[in-house]
Chains A and B, each alone.
Chain A
Amino acid sequence: MTYVADVGALARKDLLLELRARDTLPAMLLFVVSVFVVFHFTLPAHSSDLAASGLLWVAILFTALLGLGRAFVAEREQRVLDGLVLAPCDRSAIWLAKGIATLAFLVAAEIVALPVFALFFHGVSAATVGGIALADVGICGVGTFLGAMAVATRARDLLLPLLFLPLAIPIVVGGVGASTAASPGRYLGFLVLYDALFCVLCWASFEYVVTE
């Protein structure tokens, strides 16, 4: 129970910080809507729905990257991560809480983004929504882990995309498959497997990322 309470306190803090500073979610919203507008005008008329589905995943991935890049900004500015690392709670609680907060921002951005996508391109199927939900978990789990790694380096703005994008390729494969395949079940299963595997790995190894 104390672990859950620690995660709750840390996640609540992240949500409160965003409510005060408002520097992540508005940027994500503006970005994802702008990307759809740009795609709307750059895609040739009568382009296939398949192409539009691919663009949806590109937009989601880069919107998530925007949020992940800002995930540890508050901790970096005042070196607060040292304070959290010193606290006697399980250090994986920091990762889990940050991941939950980032997931909340991403889901909020997608709640706006999906209707906009449907307006500009085509409707969104239940399988696509399911795929996005599963992909969000993987994106936030892996991305938060890599964000914590990157924040300790000078080249953090460069490092995060370089580390994250290769690891996100399976998510894109699973997500696009779930959006476009006639039977999306195995792609959704693939995303579940990815989430389970990578989230357990990140959870177990986060301690080594935040300690020297």
Chain B
Amino acid sequence: MIVARKLGKRFGDKRVLRNVDLDVPRGGFAVVTGANGSGKTTLLRMCAGLARPSEGELEVAVGRAAIGYLAHEPLVYRELTALENLDLYGRLYRVPERRERTGMLLERFGLWQARHDRVASYSRGMTQRLALCRVLLHDPSLLILDEPYAALDEQGAALLDDQLAELRGVRTFLVSTHDPARVERFATTRLALA
């Protein structure tokens, strides 16, 4: 699903990624670890198609319609409600039975009661849950998750654990984390960035 060879990225004179090799087969679960500034987010952004490599080769076997990308930021509008945000993304991704899928995800991530509230009134953890709903909305075959447990409380983290367990082997994952122990049981590929 993802093949990277001698992948590198520069921003001007600053090299943020060098000589990265990565193979994530279909149904695989790759865990990317590394210190702050090691290039985890840059690698994930390149795999999502949001940045271009400066060096090396990168092949992602699916188009952007089949990618679910969880960024550091939730990528939702603060002045819209959870329902409005998901409805917008559902339309853009042409999700069949959009309303049912939106309702199911909001219910699963414990946001149903707050579905008509503006995201600006959400806590950081609730916003992260909504971001996960957005990522899963179009049922992507490749999930690229940048620090998915960030800001989640234990209940939220357990919900995400359940979701990952359910989709493991069925979908392909590329996950960056500072807490590799949390996803160790899912991992099939590990990449430590220096």
Q: Which residues of A contact B (CB under 8 A)?
A: 2, 5-6, 9-10, 13, 16-17, 20-21, 74, 77-80, 82-89, 211-212
The CA-CA distance from A89 to B75 in the complex, in Å, is 16
Closest CB in chain B relative to A2 CB, distance in Å:
7
B75–A87 CB distance below 8 A: no
A78–B76 CB distance below 8 A: yes
**B89 is an interface residue with CB less than 8 A from chain A:** yes
Q: Write 27 A-B pairs (CB below 8 A) sorted by A numbering.
A: A5-B91, A6-B92, A9-B88, A10-B88, A13-B77, A13-B88, A16-B79, A17-B80, A20-B79, A20-B80, A74-B77, A74-B79, A78-B73, A78-B76, A78-B77, A79-B73, A80-B76, A82-B73, A83-B75, A85-B50, A86-B64, A87-B92, A87-B93, A88-B63, A88-B92, A88-B94, A211-B50
The CA-CA distance from A82 to B134 in the complex, in Å, is 13
Residues on B with C-beta less than 8 A from A16 are: 79-80, 84
16 more A-B residue pairs beyond the given contacts A5-B91, A13-B88, A82-B73, with a C-beta to C-beta distance below 8 A: A10-B88, A74-B77, A74-B78, A74-B79, A78-B75, A78-B76, A79-B73, A80-B75, A80-B76, A84-B92, A86-B64, A86-B69, A87-B93, A88-B64, A88-B65, A211-B50
A87–B64 CB distance below 8 A: yes
Interface centre among A5, A83, A84 (most CB of B within 10 A): A83
The CA-CA distance from A211 to B51 in the complex, in Å, is 7
**B71 is an interface residue with CB less than 8 A from chain A:** yes
The CA-CA distance from A77 to B134 in the complex, in Å, is 18
Residue of B nearest to A20 (CB): B79
**B118 is an interface residue with CB less than 8 A from chain A:** yes
Closest CB in chain A relative to B49 CB, distance in Å:
7
Residues on A with C-beta less than 8 A from B69 are: 82-83, 86
Closest CB in chain B relative to A144 CB, distance in Å:
18
B77–A86 CB distance below 8 A: no
Total A-B residue pairs with C-beta atoms closer than 8 Å?
74
Residues on A with C-beta less than 8 A from B77 are: 13, 17, 74, 78, 80
B92–A89 CB distance below 8 A: yes
B91–A6 CB distance below 8 A: yes
- Please report which residues of chain B, range 45-85, place their CB below 8 angstroms from some CB of chain A when the two chains form the complex: 48-52, 63-65, 67, 69, 71, 73-80, 84
B75–A82 CB distance below 8 A: yes
Closest CB in chain A relative to B168 CB, distance in Å:
23
The CA-CA distance from A80 to B127 in the complex, in Å, is 13
Closest CB in chain B relative to A65 CB, distance in Å:
23
A79–B118 CB distance below 8 A: no
Residues on B with C-beta less than 8 A from A86 are: 48-50, 64, 67, 69
The CA-CA distance from A10 to B84 in the complex, in Å, is 11
